[in-house]
Amino acid sequence: MSIFGNIMSAIFGHSSAAAAAPAAATQPGTPAAQSAASAVASGAGASPTSPVDVAAIMDDLAAKTPQQLNWRTSIVDLMKLINLDSSLAARKELAQELHYSGDTNDSASMNIWLHKQVMTKLAENGGKVPDELKH
């Protein structure tokens, strides 16, 4: 599964859990969760019927972790918060998935671009994302 698909699955899966959907019992990273996220990421699945409040979900996760993670500005912190690999290699792979045309060795610029793209793509796929996080 794609890294962005894993991000969507982790965030949108928390929304399903809150709504007590049948798939909520499936943890991110399991084959069933990966299949569902693959379907959504590939366009085979429909976007959620009501927008998923990305900020509310992420703020809730941030409140439950002892680490100080600033998911609103940092792609690394966002990935850590949803228990995904945030290594440089993983971020370079995500950059490739999202068609980053800059220099992946300039990790600061790449990270800023990745964060904006992830927020924009979440919004395009049924997430409710504050405007300031998409620009």
- Listing DSSP states for 83-104 in one string gives T---SHHHHHHHHHHTT--S-T
- Residue 113 reports pLDDT greater than 60: yes
Mean pLDDT over residues 58-65, rounded?
A: 96
Structure-model confidence comparison of residues 115 and 18, the more confident one: 115
At 134 the pLDDT is 81
- Residue 23 reports pLDDT greater than 50: no
Mean pLDDT of the residues in the chain: 83
Q: Are 129 and 55 in contact (CB under 8 A)?
A: yes
- Residue 16 reports pLDDT greater than 80: no
- Residue 58 reports pLDDT greater than 60: yes
| Contacts of 36 by beta carbon, 8 Å cutoff, 6+ apart | 9, 13, 23, 26, 45
pLDDT tens profile 85-109: 999 999 999 999 999 999 999 999 9
